[in-house]
Structure 1
């Protein structure tokens, strides 16, 4: 069977129709998009395969060459869907069998739409000079609204989070997660342009040289920055201990086991105290408890006594009851002499975990909500930097590691050390805990600070300012970490630029899309004028 096919490349000059057999090229493109999306997933923790990410984007870019907006949207969606499905399987552990696969499938579908839109918009900038750069800007720009919508944003799976090590990581100190992500995608898109042009022309031309330069330049820049990543102490050091009490692997049912989390954390703290008194481990300067390790509704003599026995200040992760009865996910600065003091409340709450968006709609589709289910109250950012153990300690809690502003705000407020209390016990033996640890490793380089991750059931870790993990625990084990960390005062260029990097890249992407539309319109009008002139002749 023969069919007539027109050149599908958007904005391409008019060419005579050609005849060929029924095309199956779309199957090859779809397969490439799916393989590339899965390769992109494989670049994420716990696998140290950071270099797979640019290769995945190279495959994705080859799929998009010559496509229409609609076709590129479909391939972009396929790339994204096959990426998010395995990345987010921990949702199944969290919700358990009662919910079925629908929340997991629904969220993966919604997030893949962003990748579909990226694919479509990339076709609009494909005719611009330096097209790989504009395409990379478009892709990274769409990570910004993904941090806003749906349900207050879900930035899990950002490109930069695939890079907790490797050549691109030092770029975080210059432009944070947005610049790291841009470098990865740009490298992949330039690699695709290089391969395509060499295939088409088989000779070295100026576009080939530019594509080759774009492929290696981000890698060279990242490697050149490695010596600038400071790890030395600038204001002394502190010995920090974090307690991992452990929890049962029961997913969402853990909500009703707060008493058990408290008992386990206290028991492990007492074992650590015995080790300190016996001289088996050094005495810490600061004690850390993980997220929601206890519930505070008033005076707590047991925690008072435990912290007093250690004789050092503690940062206690707690569910704190406000005077009106509402709850806040908090970290409390607990003094060994005076008890609880300053308190930081988590700002970025987990949708459907700590609050329920669209509650009226949700009540129609799930039996797990009723009038007694009360949303937690987000914090306002107060006390994010706490004076403890003679230094300023910046705090951001669990899910907040995925967002740029909490750690940045803490460092700009003078934090010399960052701590991340977290509770990943909800998510079973999945990759979620290590995916989140990768974010903290990126934040360490982004802000030039040591980061201590304190988890209920693992993975707890001490991360050096260069992103390397100096010690860590396993999943679902009762354990403690005691380690020496440097205090640093120097701010990175990323901290000084702040959100301007992200919004600057977003503005460039919008300008590129607008320029691509203008060029597309002029090309079509010129083609129409030429066709009209030929008809008149």
Structure 2
């Protein structure tokens, strides 16, 4: 006896091949997908639009030829990334912004092509749509997180969920699991809304059995609201008093570095004012004071004046200060972006220093400098920032800090390494003076996810804002304004539950990437057997 494979479900009329959405509609759906994905992210924060964007892009690319699906995915990517990354123009100009946006959009285009490739699988088993979309979105983000030049994870679905129920899932599988849930909700949404298309018509069939509609509606509700039932990690019982100092800069823009002494003085003055408040009994005595990235662009290990004023601030507040600074090296042009503990009485503790492990390409160092110099001589204006070689685990005495500098908060492994190394709280030192408030809000959303992911209370401290404390459920405390000076003091819980996400690390993401590859391979046989007339359909 020969077993015959089950027949494909009837998705059009008798004898008709599966049809994609008409091309003119598909382009509009791709544009709307990019808009929805953009508005879901800070500073807009309409998190519920993320599944909608996923569903719209899936509808546009389903059953399309691969090249056209790549183009539709790229259109959605450009609509998303060009405005999302506009703040990069303030520091780097329009060309790096355009190149970065196009590179990110192209990876979204590859995902669109993957969705088209998997169409026969979805046509045969409609219930796989949530699973398939969850997997391909995680795989797409895994690629963007790593390539090119070490990746740029901005705009992940997970980073749009700082106010959403799905944020709770970060404690169990990190950002990849949050992305999976959001994309799977989009998959349930498109499976619920999809209607078969008649050949030669732009009118979808309206008939739909009630059972699948109810099933997908229940799945969608579970995927969106279900994480509310998932508990987040509890924080530790022991506490330490931590102060954030946002000293502000004389003015926003690239030329703030020309006023670097004024920036340092701002942070010294704000710390001394805090010391006066402590002496008057109006503020608690801090166990640790945290200054932002670039709070001293003058190397205090080589400049005695800078060292003297920082020591003065530490002595006055009578607490260690985590100073964000730029350190020169013995090689001209080579620098280090570092956080270093500065103790009262004894000054800098060289053993408690963290050097940024992931400098930003084309901004903090120039890859392929000799090739780039053929295009413009401005590449030589970019200094060569060296990478650190160990996680930012700093012991101040009262508290062990997991130090993460600026964009590093977007990278899963860098943050996790500090927690594995014993960090009791997470501190993200950043400098948003060359960007804008939108970028700062996007970064704060990442800090909120990391606090939930690792069960560690966290803080973000910026030269100009936004600075804030964050709890282990992602709640924000004492958030500052933007382009203002601010000092905030809070009791922070030390340590807490080690989450499943911390223990598993990158394994959930790797498993989902592997399943994506299996699905792509599994669709090959179905594609060979499927009779397709997409060329005629898309020519209309």
TM-score (norm 1): 0.88
Q: Hey, what's the Cα distance between the residues in 2 that align with 1:409 and 1:214?
A: 35
Q: Which digits, 9 at most, give the CA deviation of each residue in 1:114-144, with x for residues without a partner?
A: 1111011111222223133123311220111
Structure 1, unpaired ranges of 5+: 1-10, 528-537
* Alpha-carbon distance, 1:200 to partner: 4.3
The equivalences for 1:359-508 within 5 A come to 359-370=369-380, 374-382=383-391, 384-427=392-435, 429-508=436-515
Post-superposition CA distance 1:395-439 (Å, at most 9, x none): 111110110012111111121111011001111x34101011110
Residue-by-residue CA offset, 1:275-328 (whole Å, 9 max, x unaligned): 222222222111001001112333623212221221112211111223445321
Instruction: Write the distance in 1 (CA, Å) between the matches of 2:225 and 2:379.
Output: 52
CA contact (8 A) 2:77 2:106 kept: yes
| Match status 1:353 vs 2:363 | yes
- Is 1:117 aligned to 2:119, yes or no? no
Distance (Å, rounded) in 2 between the aligned partners of 1:230 and 1:404:
18
Q: Quick one: structure 1 residues 411 and 275, their matched pair in 2 at CA, closer, same or farther if it must change by over 3 Å?
A: same
Residue 524 of structure 1 deviates from its aligned partner by 6.0
**Offset at residue 209 of structure 1 (A):** 4.8
Tell me the secondary structure at the aligned position of residue 381 of structure 1: coil
| Deviation for aligned residue 1:486 | 1.3
Kept in 1, the 8 Å contact 2:173–2:500? The answer is yes
Q: Secondary structure at the match of 1:85?
A: helix
Residue 501 and residue 86 in structure 1: after superposition, are their counterparts in 2 closer, same or farther (change >3 A)? same
Query: For the residues of structure 2 that align with 1:88 and 1:173, how far apart are their CA atoms?
Result: 28
Partner Cα distance (2:371, 2:256) in 1: 24
Measured after TM superposition, the shift of residue 473 of structure 1 is 1.0
Q: What runs of 5+ residues in structure 2 fail to find an aligned partner? A: 1-10, 197-203, 534-540
Q: Distance in 2 between matches of 1:249 and 1:152?
A: 32
Aligned to 1:515: 522
Query: Is the 2:35–2:80 Cα contact (8 Å) retained in structure 1?
Result: yes
Could you say what secondary structure the match of 2:511 adopts? helix
In 2, the alpha carbon distance for the partners of 1:165 and 1:246 equals 27
1:56 and 2:56 are equivalent in the alignment: no
Corresponding position of 1:223? 228
1:293 paired residue number: 295
Change in 2 beyond 3 A, CA 1:514/1:263:
same
Aligned residue pair count: 503
Give the match for residue 152 of structure 2.
154
> Contact between 2:271 and 2:317, CA under 8 Å: does it hold in 1?
no
The equivalent of 2:43 in structure 1 is: 46
SS in 2 for 1:425: coil
What's the offset of the Cα at 1:520? Answer: 1.5
Tell me, yes or no, if structure 1 residue 74 matches structure 2 residue 71: yes
**Over the residues paired in the alignment, what is the CA RMSD in angstroms?**
2.6
Alignment of 1:167-316 (within 5 A): 167-197=165-195, 200=205, 202-204=207-209, 207-225=212-230, 228-232=231-235, 234-294=236-296, 295-298=299-302, 300-316=307-323
- TM-aligned CA deviation for residue 483 of structure 1: 1.3
2:32 matched to 1:35? yes
Q: Aligned in 2, Cα 1:367/1:274: closer, same or farther, shift over 3 Å?
A: farther
CA distance in 1, matches of 2:378, 2:269: 32
State the alpha-carbon separation in 1 of the partners of residues 397 and 388 from structure 2: 24
- TM-score norm. by structure 2 comes to 0.87
Change (3 A) 1:269 1:462: same
CA contact (8 A) 2:455 2:472 kept: yes
Deviation at 1:238, TM superposition (A): 1.4
CA distance in 2, matches of 1:399, 1:13: 52
Output aligned runs, 1:102-141, within 5 Å. 102-128=95-121, 129=125, 130-141=128-139
Matching residue of 1:5: none
Q: Secondary structure at the match of 1:296?
A: coil
Q: Once the 2 structures are TM-superposed, how far is the Cα of residue 351 of structure 1 from its aligned partner? A: 1.5
